[in-house]
Structure 1
């Protein structure tokens, strides 16, 4: 089998990570068979993208070898720090000695295509479309009641974090940090109750969203937007009170200058003193012919 070719630009440091430049000038790195790139975006920004088993020298890599958006990267030192974090993560994973298993199993997401055994009674299953952990009855009883799944299954998007904080010795430091943030973001009340702490603004996405919704319950929040064909330089916005959706919800249209329209974390709040109600021709196909704003 053809081995991944190491770069010739920089020798690996003690972490085992290689750094170099791609054919199109991106800062890139290689950790084992995992490749990383600092991809340029708009306004001078960059984000982290990943690749897998790129079978060419690093100097021949191009943007199309990478996929995904794994978060914004501030600068080259931040990129290097992220890669070194991944190198440490890979070393710790090897030390955990997880075992692969091909035994078939039925999961909530369909037949399993493979499994990773983290320990007796702690198994991660992958399927064609999704995946997650299954815990044995004894293991599941060790999960805190506020987070415990009655069926012992924990899907891979968020609930995996419950398994990780319940059995931290089975996970790498990187995985534990990700798991802690996931619990804070998704189950802030449980986190506060279990650990006897109060999450401050900025520490939990869900808690911050609740605060936003409470603060703007009576405000008009955009639920749909499109560049206006009729009013150049403006965004035509459909907004509802508190950003609510569903049958019977009052809707109004507003014009927002294109330079001002930044969605933000939880939605764009209409300023009635700056953003006028709009009753003219609409760029929304579904709104054409309706007489109200």
Structure 2
């Protein structure tokens, strides 16, 4: 997926920078042997997306346009994707705005945050003001969002000029901005300086606080592989609606995700709409549609 992400971005950008952890760097070297090591930035410890993006921004000049994309997205219809990003880049280059990409929902889904779209803010009807960001909804609320036509899935993709990002960060999250400035002045102390930062997403830390946020609506296929439900959506199903990987013996099993990474065959009977994942580290069983909630019980 990171290979595909880089290939897509090479058609849009002059330079690619990877922000990752030191533990993941060997994987980057393995899968991206030709990627320049000087373009890999290590986050000293995990502090979520706001500190990570701010740290990565230190490699840019004020006049540069930054395009931020996660590496764990499945994107199809590349031409539509590139068209959407080019619209966002053009707008960011000529406006004092933080641009986010909102995805047109294909169904009511509880696993994503939502962007409530406001009025059109450009002459081509392609860019909208952001009225509000909404957390992951329950199913009834997701149905309301879907029917309204005004709500988009929050993709976590952003475009802005470095100077605008710095200005908005200094105004809305001055503690983070000052820490990044400290790191630029004293890079040899990055570990102890970075450790002071809270774990906070770019949505909480900046986007929900700024009054300069707009969205470009994307109509391409997009899937954030952040849950087992998303994995089920991507895999090929059998005639009973089951996506199966590994050794199973089944009877009257329908619409399930079954993954077995152990050496033993598992026997399953009489279930509909469940997720079962078995590995050497443990076993997960939950209803489909609820895999986002497993973080509350896994420690």
Instruction: Please state which band the TM-score falls in when normalised by the shorter chain.
Output: under 0.3
Q: Which has the higher helix share?
A: 2
Higher relative contact order (CA 8 A, sep 6+): 2
Which structure: larger Rg? 1
TM-score, normalisation: structure 2:
0.26
TM-score, normalisation: structure 1:
0.26
